[in-house]
Structure 1
Amino acid sequence: MKKITSILVLITVITTILTVNIFAAKIPLRVVVNGSRINFPDAQPFIDENGRTQVPVRFVSEALGADVGWDGKTKTVTIEQGRNKITLVVGKSEYTVNGKTMEMDTTVLLLEDRTFVPVRFVSEGLGANVEWNASIRTVYITTGGAVPTPSPEEGEIRYYDGIAFNPATDVDEFGRMTIEKSQEFLLKMADQLAFVKENGRYYIVGEYPEIPEEFEWAVGIGINLKSGGRRNFSTLTARKEYLIPNEGSFKKDTTGLIDINDIDSFGITISVLNKDINEDLGILEIAYVIDGTLSDGNDRRVAFVPESGSIPQISYTDSFNFEKMFQW
C-alpha cells in the first residue's frame, strides 16, 4: 500500500516536485571515447527508430584502436582489435563477436555511402563500457572492460517489444528493474499513451509494451481543473469510472467525467513494479500546463525520477513529443 499511496500522491503534486534542467535548443548527439569527443566531419550520429544511437562505423572503431574492413558484395563490416573480431551485415540484427552469434534490437544501416552501426553493441563487443547521458545527449565510451560472451549462468537476453532484457544484469539484488532498463520501458510506454478526440468524444488510449512476467505496470493520470477540482485516473484506483487497465491496450472514455474547457494541467506518472515486492527504482513523470507555467517557468516537463534522491533526475523534455500525447 505504501507504493500505491506514494504514486497517487505524486499525481497531485507533480507540477511542483520536478526540478530538472531544461535546454532552450536541442543539443546535438555527442560521442566521447576515453574523455575525448569524436568529431564526425560529414555524416553525423543519430538515434534510429529503435532508440539506438547509430554512428559512422570507422570513426568510433578507430578511436577504440580497431581496424575496419568492408566487403561491398556481401555488405559486411569487419571490426578487428587485437584478438577481438566483430562482423556485422547491413540490414541484419544478428552479428558475431569472436565467432559467437549474437543479436541486437536494431540493424546496421547504409546511408549515403556511409555505414552506420549501433554504437553500444560495437563498443561492448570490443570490451568497452558504454553509458548514455540523455540530459546532454552524450554517449560515453571507456575501454578496459571484458568482451561480452554471455554464458547460461550469466542470464539469457530476451526481447520485449524490441527492448533487450537480461535477468542477470537488468535486475538488482532486491528484484527491482535497474534504472537504465526502466527508462527504456517507461519511455516506450509514454510514447504509446495519448489523449485523443474521436467523433466528439474524449479518450485516454494506451498500449503497454511487453515486460518480463515478474513485473507489472502502474500508471497514474491526474487532470487538474481550473475550477479547483481534480480527476485521477489510475491502474490502482478502486473507482471503476477512473480505473484504467495495467496491461495490453486500452481506450478509456472520459466524456462526461471531464469538462475539457475546464482543464488546467496534466500530471502523469508511469512505473514498472516488481509484482512481489511492489517496488521500483524510479518513475517517469510528465507534466503539461495548458494555460500557465510550472514552478520553473516552463509549461511542460518530462523526467525520470530515481527513487533515491542521491541520483540526479534525467530530463527528456526536449525530445518528447507532447503534441502526439496531448491531442484534446
Structure 2
Amino acid sequence: MKKIAFILVLITVVSTILTVNIFAAKIPLRVVVNGSRINFPDAQPFIDENGRTQVPVRFVSEALGADVGWDGKTKTVTIEQGRNKITLVVGKSEYTVNGKTMEMDTTVLLLEDRTFVPVRFVSEGLGANVEWNASIRTVYITTGGAVPTPSPEEGEIRYYDGIAFNPATDVDEFGRMTIEKSQEFLLKMADQLAFVKENGKYYIIGEYPEIPEEFEWSLGIGINLKSGGTRTFAPGTRVPGFDIPREGTFKKDTTGLIEINDVRGIGIVIAVRNKEIKEYLGVLEIAYLMEGTLGDGTTRRANFIPETAKNQRIPYTDTFNFEKMFQW
C-alpha cells in the first residue's frame, strides 16, 4: 500500500472513529546484542534510582545464549551459559559469578511478575562487553570484538532546528529515519501547526521544521463533519482548494471549504519519509473533538504509531499542548 494512501486512511479512522488508548510516555531505552535489537513484548527496560539500566532477565540472557532458571520460594534467578553461572536474588545487591560472591550498586527487582536485572552486571558476568550511548539511549552488548558505537568518521552530527541528527545512527539500513529520531522531528512539526481564527476567518497555519535533505514531510489533516463525511487537506491532493504545501510556511484559509459550526473533530497524521523510497518507520497521530467525547470520555489524544508494531503506540496526550494547536 502506498504510504500516502496509508496516511489518508489513518486520517479517516482518526477523524471518524478515534478509538486509541493514550498515556504519557517518553522515547524508550534500546538494548542491542551483537548488532540486533532486543524486542521486549510487554515489560520494558528502564533506568532505576541508582542509574542502572534494568532489563527483563529472560530476553537479554537468552539473546546471549544463556538459560534462565527461577526459584519462586527463594526468589532466586540462575543464569547459565556454558561454564558460566550467575546467581542473583530479588532485593539483594550481592550475587555470585561462578561461585564467587560479587557486589552490585543496585538490586534485582520483581515488578508485575517480571524479574528485572541490571544489564551490565549480568552481561559482564557472562563475559560480554557492555557500553552505554546516552545520546541515543542505547545499551550495546557484544560477546566479542569491538562494541558497535559510532565513531566520528562513521557520521558527523548535524543540527536541524535544534535537533541533532547523525546519519550513522539515526537512519536504518533501508534509508528510513529511526523511530526514536522520527519522534523528535514529528513533535517539533506538531508544535508548529495550529488552527487559528483571525478577523472572522478560520485558518490552518504551519511551518515545517528543517530536515535532512534526503527526507521530506508527509502531512494529512482530516476535518470530520457533524453532517457526515471528512474533508481532507494534504499535499498533492487533487481536490480543488484542499492542497497544502509539503515544505516551508503556509497559512491555509478554510473559508468556503468547511463550515466551522459543522466541525465535529480534527484528525492529523504527520510522517517524515525518505524521498526516494517513500518509506518511514512511524507516524504521529493527533485527534481532537470539538463536540462530544471519545469512547473513554476524553476529547483529545496524541500518539506515535510505529510502522512495524501499530498496536504498540507511544503516547503523548498528557504532555501535548492541545490548546496551542486547536484555537478554532
Instruction: Give TM class, smaller chain.
Output: 0.5 to 0.7
Q: 2:162 aligns to what?
A: 162
Q: Distance in 2 between matches of 1:2 and 1:199?
A: 39
Deviations 1:119-147 (A, max 9, x none): xxxxxxx9524499xxxxxxx78697969
Change (3 A) 1:224 1:310: closer
- The residue type paired with residue 176 of structure 1 is R
Structure 2: gaps spanning 5 or more residues: 27-44, 52-103, 107-129
Equivalent of 1:36 in 37, 48, 53: 48
Larger radius of gyration: 2
Matched position secondary structure for 2:241: helix
- The residue type paired with residue 292 of structure 2 is G
Identity within the alignment, %: 61
Q: Distance in 2 between matches of 1:38 and 1:301?
A: 33
Q: 1:268 aligns to what?
A: 268
Q: Distance in 2 between matches of 1:141 and 1:148?
A: 10
Q: Distance in 1 between matches of 2:194 and 2:267?
A: 13
Normalising to structure 2: TM-score of the pair?
0.63
Q: 1:296 aligns to what?
A: 296
- Residues 131, 139 of structure 2: 8 Å contact kept: no
- The residue type paired with residue 293 of structure 1 is T
Pairwise CA distance, 1:243: 0.5
Q: 1:229 aligns to what?
A: 229
Pairwise CA distance, 1:267: 0.4
Change (3 A) 1:213 1:35: closer
- The residue type paired with residue 178 of structure 1 is T
Matched position secondary structure for 2:187: helix
Pairwise CA distance, 1:291: 1.4
- Residues 186, 284 of structure 2: 8 Å contact kept: yes
Change (3 A) 1:168 1:252: same
**RMSD of Structure 2 on Structure 1 (CA):** 3.1
Q: 1:203 aligns to what?
A: 203
- The residue type paired with residue 155 of structure 1 is G
Q: 2:99 aligns to what?
A: none
Equivalent of 1:128 in 113, 127, 132: 132
Pairwise CA distance, 1:198: 1.1
Pairwise CA distance, 1:231: 1.1
Pairwise CA distance, 1:148: 6.4
Matched position secondary structure for 2:264: strand
Q: Distance in 2 between matches of 1:219 and 1:141?
A: 30
User: Any residues of structure 2 matched to 1:133-144 within 5 Å, and which?
Assistant: none
Q: Distance in 1 between matches of 2:20 and 2:233?
A: 24
Q: 2:325 aligns to what?
A: 325
Task: List 4+ stretches of structure 1 deviating above 4 A.
Answer: 140-149
Pairwise CA distance, 1:207: 0.4
Matched position secondary structure for 1:317: coil
- Residues 23, 315 of structure 2: 8 Å contact kept: yes
Deviations 1:182-220 (A, max 9, x none): 000000000000001111111100000000111110110
